[in-house]
Copies of this chain bind each other. A is one copy, B any other.
Amino acid sequence: MSILVVGSVFFDSIETLHGKADRALGGAATYFAVAASFFAPVRMVAAVGEDFPCEELDFLSRRGIDLAGLQIRPGLTGSWAGRYHEDMNQRDTLQLDLNVFADFQPQVPASYRDAQYVFLANIDPRLQAMVLDQLAAPGLVGCDTMNHWISGSRGELEQLLGRVDVLVINDEEAQLLSGERNVVRAARRLLAMGPRRVLIKRGEYGVIQFSADSVFAVPAFPLEEVFDPTGAGDSFAGGFMGELARSGDTSEAGLRRAIVYGSVIASFVVEDFGMRRLRALTPELIERRFRQFISLTDVNGN
């Protein structure tokens, strides 16, 4: 089963303690799509400018990403520059130019309309809703958002949440959206807004998933060095949705396995700058780390 993702494609300039990357391929939809492409075919709805390099279009295509929904528009691709603090959990935005992304209106190609697995990466909830409006009968809808929309477009976001199956956000966003500091109470409130499941990303501490009658928590894969956290959350979502689409198993056990795959992909992404580690990744490396991850968390394991 293929996956449809809508979101941003950007150039990122990143600085961390370990070095810097200049105008590297980035954006939530890009990280999601490349991560998911290791599991299932991906269809992308996004917009880039005429400056977007052919090599990168080629890279995405070779990863099995269908670009029929990628608008190439007059103007420049959006770009972002940021600098991480020493502890990598905080960053400052140094520059943000939305460029062609400023008036992006997602158009879902006819060939995408039967999409079953859909991920609404972090963009204006109005645009996320527009995508759902153009789909026939999506089977499983995942959704991300950020503080900007929670504060500025709460009404639209809450309306959207009624149409979402799995909300995937980080702990800070969960707190802001729910008004609850405690993660259990926050998740309960978020579930009451509509989604059947809430996945809360806790950075280096892993992920915790809530449904009405279950809780599942996994640590993050422990790494000796985090070079660049950019894209970790979107890649998590890509691995998670990718594994769901590959297995077609949306039972509790299927979702738990998908969360581990998402965590595995995220653990690779942060090992190098930007997309670099994803470009060199293979299914064999993913499966090997999946097995390591299972042994990391198995109470009866050795």
Taking Cβ atoms with an 8 Å cutoff, the residues of A that contact B are 86-87, 181-185, 202, 204-206, 208, 214-219, 222-226, 251-253, 256-257, 260, 294-302
Given A184-B224, A205-B205, answer yes or no on A252-B302 (Cβ-Cβ < 8 Å): yes
Q: Are A256 and B300 in contact (CB under 8 A)?
A: yes
Q: Which residue of B lies closest to A86 (CB)?
A: B181
A sample of 17 inter-chain contacts (CB < 8 A) reads A86-B181, A87-B181, A182-B226, A183-B204, A185-B224, A208-B219, A208-B222, A215-B222, A215-B296, A218-B297, A218-B299, A252-B301, A253-B301, A256-B301, A257-B300, A260-B299, A297-B297
Q: Are B182 and A225 in contact (CB under 8 A)?
A: yes
A295: chain B residues at CB < 8 Å are 214
A217: chain B residues at CB < 8 Å are 206, 219, 222, 296-297
**Distance A296 CA – B252 CA, assembled complex (angstroms):** 11
Interface centre among A87, A184, A185, A297 (most CB of B within 10 A): A297
A222: chain B residues at CB < 8 Å are 183-184, 208, 215, 217
A299: chain B residues at CB < 8 Å are 218, 253, 256-257, 260, 294, 297-298
Please give 7 more A-B residue pairs, beta carbons under 8 A apart, in addition to A183-B204, A205-B205, A256-B298: A184-B223, A202-B205, A206-B219, A215-B222, A216-B301, A218-B219, A260-B299
Q: Are B216 and A296 in contact (CB under 8 A)?
A: yes
Q: Which residue of B lies closest to A202 (CB)?
A: B205
Q: Which residue of B lies closest to A210 (CB)?
A: B222
For the complex formed, measure the closest distance between the CB of A300 and the CB atoms of chain B, giving whole angstroms: 6
A208: chain B residues at CB < 8 Å are 219, 222
**Distance A222 CA – B182 CA, assembled complex (angstroms):** 9
For the complex formed, measure the closest distance between the CB of A293 and the CB atoms of chain B, giving whole angstroms: 8
A300: chain B residues at CB < 8 Å are 253, 256-257
**Distance A208 CA – B301 CA, assembled complex (angstroms):** 14
**Distance A182 CA – B185 CA, assembled complex (angstroms):** 30
Q: Which residue of B lies closest to A181 (CB)?
A: B87
A218: chain B residues at CB < 8 Å are 219, 297, 299
A184: chain B residues at CB < 8 Å are 222-224
**Distance A257 CA – B301 CA, assembled complex (angstroms):** 10
A256: chain B residues at CB < 8 Å are 298-301
